[in-house]
Amino acid sequence: MKSPIAFFTRLLCRKSSAALHPDGNKSKTATAGFTLIEILIAIAIMGTLTAIAMPYFTSYIEMVKVKKVLIDIRMLEKEINIFHDTYGRYPQNLAEIGLDDMKDAWGNPYRYLPVEGSPPGKLRKDHFMVPVNSDFDLYSVGKDGKTASPFTSKNSRDDIVRANDGQYLGLVSGY
């Protein structure tokens, strides 16, 4: 009975360390428990499984954070549009609608800029350097906390933006 399956079967079903002896003789010092090698093998297996699962887990967490920001931006967009319908103009900042304290999933404040009255250099621009909105810019600076006006900038790639007057909502890298 030298097969690995038989060894592991005996290992799992044993009541004492005598089950590991090939001849089945029990020693006087036989006790129930695991040897150091068995514990190290179990730790190595758990470490390998953790190393395999961790990238999937962290990417899932990032995906959930992005989804939360998308939902927040849609909610902010609706509040801004309600303000516009009520007063006939867009708010100058998020404080005017009482939502200036909102933070994205990474702890950064949401950025809002009405197109009317804003200098052209501050507006978000697509790959052709054309402003992406005609009403207002609303976005999160993303995980790195950095941003730049053009979408082509490296600092803008992880930003989550509202573009095309609300027709697009997502990562700049996907625009």
* pTM, two decimal places: 0.71
Q: pLDDT at position 114, please?
A: 93
Q: Is residue 121 part of a domain?
A: yes
Instruction: Residue 108: give its domain's CATH number.
Output: 3.30.700
Q: Contact, 133 vs 162, CB < 8 A?
A: yes
Mean predicted confidence (pLDDT) in 105-114:
94
Cα–Cα distance, 169 to 175 (Å, whole number): 9
Q: Is residue 41 part of a domain?
A: no
Give percent of the chain above pLDDT 70. Answer: 82
State the CB neighbour count (10 A cutoff) for residue 102.
14
Secondary structure, 3-state, 148-172: CCECCCHHHCCCEEEEHHHCEEEEH
Q: Is residue 43 part of a domain?
A: no
Q: Is residue 76 part of a domain?
A: yes
The number of folded domains in the chain is 1
Please give the radius of gyration of the chain, using alpha carbons only, rounded to the nearest integer.
30
Q: Is residue 94 part of a domain?
A: yes
Strands 136-140 and 168-171, by their bridges, are unpaired
Q: Which long-range contacts (CB under 8 A, 24 or more apart) does 87-93 make?
A: 89/116, 90/114, 90/115, 90/116, 90/135, 90/136, 92/117
Mean predicted confidence (pLDDT) in 66-86:
96
Q: Is residue 61 part of a domain?
A: no
pLDDT (tens digit, 9 = 90+) per residue, 46-68?
999 999 999 999 999 999 999 99
Opening angle at CA 166, ends 165 and 169, nearest 5: 130
Whether residue 70 has pLDDT greater than 80: yes
The model's confidence at residue 1, banded by pLDDT at 50, 70 and 90, is: very low
The model's confidence at residue 21, banded by pLDDT at 50, 70 and 90, is: low
Q: Is residue 127 part of a domain?
A: yes
Strands 111-114 and 168-171, by their bridges, are unpaired
Q: Is residue 42 part of a domain?
A: no
* Full domain range(s) for residue 106: 71-174
The residue ranking higher by pLDDT, 33 or 31, is 33
